[in-house]
Amino acid sequence: MPIKVLIIDDSALVRETLSQILNSDSDIKVIATASDPIFGAKKIKVERPDVIVLDIEMARMDGLTFLKKMNETVDPIPCVVCSTMISEGSENAMKALEYGAAELIQKPALGTRKFLEESKVRICDAVKSAYKSTSNLKKLIPSPLNNKRTVQPKLSADVILDKPSALSTPLETTERVVVVGASTGGTEALKDFLTMLPDDAPGIVIVQHMPEHFTAAFANRLDGLCRIHVKEAQNGDSVIPGQALIAPGNYHILLKRSGARYYVEIKEGPLVSRHRPSVDVLFRSAARYAGKNAIGIIMTGMGDDGAKGMREMHDAGAFTIAQDEQSCIVYGMPGEAVKNGGVDKIVPLTNIAQTMINASLIRSK
């Protein structure tokens, strides 16, 4: 019988790639995938896997909390942690091992598909090793379920689903998030920027000054041109790799964080810097909730919206980028941000994507 595997990862690209890799081994069968541990627990109730391949940063419940809960049950399922957040000697790596991870595989921040494909043998071996070690342990240690005098606690899926609102969070987060502001000339600038990005680019939140009812069509147009997914943001949307969220016209958008999960809040409210949505509102929220994990980009546009917010991001440790004057239709917003002292790097439009990617590979400390 092949080893049954459940993959829990918030990236659809990772779930697809891992499924292809593991299913290519005749000794392994992926029976289900899930975008977070809550969905994963529901899949476990339907069919119990032999091994779980687990990410750390996910919506609703992070991987470390899942791992800890899993290994406090009477029927733990061995987990292979596959994450960008487990560099050698990191606190997350130590906690993952402490909480019972059978194997650790560190994913790169970018180029994930290529890395996973090149690491096929290692990943398959990790799954087999996790399964084998637990099988041997079960032979040596009888399950408490066989002791009639033992008060039987809940099984793994029930414990994970129990009181999901009271979850803890990872001890450290290095996930990069990108916030972008643009106005006059921004629709074409954003198209040029977004079409240059790889499909596993960091999660992006965008304010483009645009009337209500136009942003959905704009997002749909970009979605058809880009390797990443582009959509008009809805309240509560998660900010995840491989996706860009565009603020709906006539509403402010804020970046928020709950544990390891970044998400957006859509709000009505007064005009800020003469605009709604306002780049300043987005940038200030990024400074507060993402700090040094954020990358800020300000593009062509009239006025000074975003200049104050970018300075706040800069002062909070974020890396900030401004489009240069030569490539701007209007150098108002980037020029004011530069004058205000909030810009780390000024680059032509054609270089913004690569500059952002390079910055995202430098993990915040």
- As annotated, the active-site residues are 183, 209, 305
Q: Rounded distance, CA 267 to CA 280, Å?
A: 14
7 by Cβ neighbours in 10 Å (0-12 / 13-18 / 19+) ranks as: buried
Distance from chain centroid for Cα 117: 20
**Which is nearest to 58 in space by CA: 259, 245, 206?**
259
Q: End-to-end alpha-carbon separation of the chain, Å?
A: 45
Which two tokens mark 322? 């401004």
Count CA within 13 A, CB hemisphere, residue 113.
12
Q: Rounded distance, CA 74 to CA 71, Å?
A: 8
Q: Are strands 51-54 and 3-8 parallel, antiparallel or unpaired?
A: parallel
Q: Rounded distance, CA 327 to CA 1, Å?
A: 60
Which two tokens mark 96? 């993952």
